């Protein structure tokens, strides 16, 4: 039987998530084009990673009000970076997706982020990279799975 110190596990989890935030900040620094705000970049990044999303999903994920989300989406649409898509099965449903220009911008940002990732991880063996991939999959399935916000 394995004895688990839940308080210690939670402390490690908090330290880990803080490290993830710090690393995210480091490897994404400077990837945002000057034509968009940090919030607009976050919206584009979320749409790029998630695919078709509703404004309310963006609002929930990024912890911003729906009116602010709608305003920022409108600004991004005016810049030609995203567009609204009406669902053919339910014309009341509107989704947000990247335009070709938005995809180009995000692909450029992700290429920079990937290069920075490999600067940190490129020295690792294939076995170590496989262990990291397994750890990520385990965390995704057990802790970071899709759920309603708390």
What torsion do the CA atoms of 136, 95, 40, 67 make, to the nearest 10 degrees? Answer: -120
Q: Given this model, what pLDDT does residue 46 score?
A: 96
How far apart are the C-alpha atoms of 13 and 139, rounded to whole Å?
11
pTM across the whole model: 0.85
Phi, psi of 95 (to 5 degrees): -115, 160
| The pLDDT of residue 89 is above 50 | yes
Scored b (16 or more CB within 10 A) or e, 24-48 reads: eeebbeebbeeebeeebbbbbbebb
- CA angle, 119 then 124 then 125, to 5°: 145
């Amino acid at each position: 039987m394995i004895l688990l110190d839940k308080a210690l596990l939670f402390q490690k989890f908090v330290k880990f998530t803080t490290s993830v935030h710090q690393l995210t900040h480091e490897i994404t620094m400077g990837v945002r084009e000057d034509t968009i705000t940090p919030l607009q970049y976050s919206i584009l990044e979320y749409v790029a990673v998630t695919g078709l999303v509703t404004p309310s999903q963006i609002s929930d994920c990024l912890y911003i009000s729906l009116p602010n989300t709608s305003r920022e989406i409108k600004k991004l649409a005016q810049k030609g970076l995203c567009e609204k898509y009406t669902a053919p099965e339910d014309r009341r449903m509107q989704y947000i997706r990247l335009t070709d220009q938005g995809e180009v911008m995000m692909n450029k940002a992700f290429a920079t982020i990937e290069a920075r990732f490999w600067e940190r991880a490129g020295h690792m063996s294939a076995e170590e990279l496989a262990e990291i991939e397994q750890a990520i999959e385990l965390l995704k399935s057990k802790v970071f799975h899709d759920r309603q916000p708390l």
